[in-house]
Every structure is written in structure tokens, then in C-alpha cells.
Amino acid sequence: MRFHSPQKLKTIADLIGAKFVGAEDFEVLGTNEIHRVKAGEIVFVNHPKYYDKALNSEATIILIDKEVECPEGKALLVSDDPFRDFNKINTHFTRIYNFTEELHDVEIGEGSKIHSSAVLGNNIKIGKNVLIFPNVVIGDRTIIGDNVIIQSGTVLGGDAFYYRKLDGNFDRLISVGNVIIEDNVEIGNNCTIDRGVTDSTIIGAGSVLDNQIQIGHDTVIGKRCLIASQVGIAGCCIFEDEVTIWGQVGVASGFTIAKGTVLLAKTGVNRNLEKGTYFGMFAEDFKSYLKKEVKLRRLL
């Protein structure tokens, strides 16, 4: 999430009541989740296991629960609860509506048709010749390109599934990102595409999604991808262009799938994948899987 205008390190420290390490006027451009963070942005870390990853990431400002040696060219915000204070920063700079206030800043392009039962949030942009079927829900800050079809019951821009356990309960990391649907995308019935925690969940131009698909926060689906029904994709994944995913595939968070890859039905993905065709619980090369099956059957 980028701030509307650059902020100063001391301003952010005062907002959350944190100690800072760095110049008072050190520039802060926004916040982001570790998988998507860029220079000038804040990333949070609250466990020693992940200190090095955060300190050596693209982040320029690290919101951390212990004062450590600060890398050159970066700054620290030292907090007793970085998770809480990350939420505080994000909600200070991004207003949360949750469909509780009247619509405003909804832009709809020429030739677009939206069924009267659809529910729209705030700060939404819809391109030209878009067709939105009954009972679609479009959350705040969603951007939809031209010539898009969204069929009944689909939800764009729901909250990310991102929690920590605190005092025996689950505490949500508040989602202030959005969903971007590029041109010429078709989305089937009853799909759910969560908005980014602090960045964008993106469906690339020309991609087609079947019914009942779940796509997690901050995931990027490339151009001209084909996704069959009942696929579940966790957050922060990257699917390069022209990936084909067949029914009931499951993908764990944070992995990259190379351009042109095919995931056959019920494949489970637990690592980055180079281009190929995969099948099975642990995404085996399909030809290797078949050879193994032949050998096993010969043992019978």
C-alpha cells in the first residue's frame, strides 16, 4: 500500500508510539507484506526466526519487536507489537468501509451492464463493456478492465485469510489492498478472489476462471491462464502466463509456477515449479509419475 504522499519516519513512529532508528526525516512511502515489499515501504516482523529475511528484504523500513543492528540505508521502527502497529498504520492511511456507508467514487465505463442485485463497495473502477451477473459482490478499491465477464455469486475483494493467535483467539491482519481484474477476463459462478493485504491480487488479461475457485491474497495470475473448477490457491503465489490448472488443484502459499505449466486434476503444489506437466499429491512430473505407476503394478 502506497501512502497518498510520502511520510517521515518520525511521523510514523509518533503515530504508533514506537522508537525509531534512523533520521527523523527518513522518507516512508508505504507498507507491504514481505512477499511483495518494495523500496521505501515498511515491512513488519515479530519473530527472531524471520529477522534476517525482513532486514535483508527490499523493505527500507522494518517494523520490528526488538532493536537490532540496522542495515545501511534502512531504518527501524521498534514496537512491542509490530502486528498491531502494522494494522494501525494501514487503517490510518486507508479507510475501511465494509459496505457500511453509501457508495462514492464508483466509475463505470461505457457499455457496461451491472445487474441490480450486485453489491458494489467504494472507490471502484469498472471498464467498458463489462458484464456483471446477479449477486456479485465487488469490494472496495477493486479495478476491473474492459470486456470482463463476472458470473453470479462471485466475490471480488473479500478479506485476506491472514491471522495470528493472540490470547487464545485469532487476530486478523486487516486487508487494505485490492483486486485488479485485467481486460478480457472471464470469471465463473461462486468464485472468491481475496484482496491483497497491502498490495493487489491480480488476474491477468485474457485469463478464464471456471466456477467455485478460491484465490488468496496478493496472488498474481498471469495472462491467458485457464483455471478449472474447485481450485484453491493460497496467498502470495505467482502464476506466470499461460498456465493451465485443472480441477481441485491445491497450491500452498508463496510459490511461483512457470509460464506454460500444466497442473493436472487434484495436484498438490508445495514448491516452485519449472515449466512442465505435473500430477499427484506432491506435484510430480507426469511422465515420471506414470513410469513409477507401471513399475509398481509390475510388482503385483
**217 close to 180: Cβ distance less than 8 angstroms:** no
**196 close to 175: Cβ distance less than 8 angstroms:** yes
- Helix (H) and strand (E) counts in the chain: 4, 34
CATH fold label, 106-288? UDP N-Acetylglucosamine Acyltransferase; domain 1 (2.160.10)
pLDDT, tens digit, 9 for 90 and up, residues 2-47 = 999 999 999 999 999 999 999 999 999 999 999 899 999 999 999 9
**33 close to 236: Cβ distance less than 8 angstroms:** yes
How far apart CA 216 and CA 160 sit, in angstroms, is: 7
**pTM (2 d.p.):** 0.94
- Across the strands, what pairs with 106? 124
* pLDDT tens for the 300 residues of the chain, in order: 999 999 999 999 999 999 999 999 999 999 999 989 999 999 999 999 999 999 999 999 999 999 999 999 999 999 999 999 999 999 999 988 888 877 778 999 999 999 999 999 999 999 999 999 999 999 999 999 999 999 999 999 999 999 999 999 999 999 999 999 999 999 999 999 999 999 999 999 999 999 999 999 999 999 999 999 999 999 999 999 999 999 999 999 999 999 999 999 999 999 999 999 999 999 999 999 898 888 888 887
**257 close to 274: Cβ distance less than 8 angstroms:** no
How far apart CA 79 and CA 206 sit, in angstroms, is: 44
pLDDT, tens digit, 9 for 90 and up, residues 184-206 = 999 999 999 999 999 999 999 99
How far apart CA 276 and CA 228 sit, in angstroms, is: 18
Fold identical between 2-93 and 106-288?
no
Residue reference for cell 485490492: 178
**Is 217 a known active-site residue?**
yes
Domain boundaries, the chain: 2-93, 106-288
Superfamily of domain 2-93: MurE/MurF, N-terminal domain (3.40.1390.10)
pLDDT, tens digit, 9 for 90 and up, residues 217-227 = 999 999 999 99
DSSP secondary structure string, 98-155?
A: TT-S---SEEE-TT-EE-TT-EE-SSEEE-TT-EE-TT-EE-TT-EE-SS-EE-TT-E
**158 close to 197: Cβ distance less than 8 angstroms:** no
How far apart CA 203 and CA 221 sit, in angstroms, is: 5
To the nearest whole percent, how much of the chain has pLDDT over 70? 100
Residue reference for cell 469498472: 126
The one catalytic residue among 4, 104, 115, 217 = 217
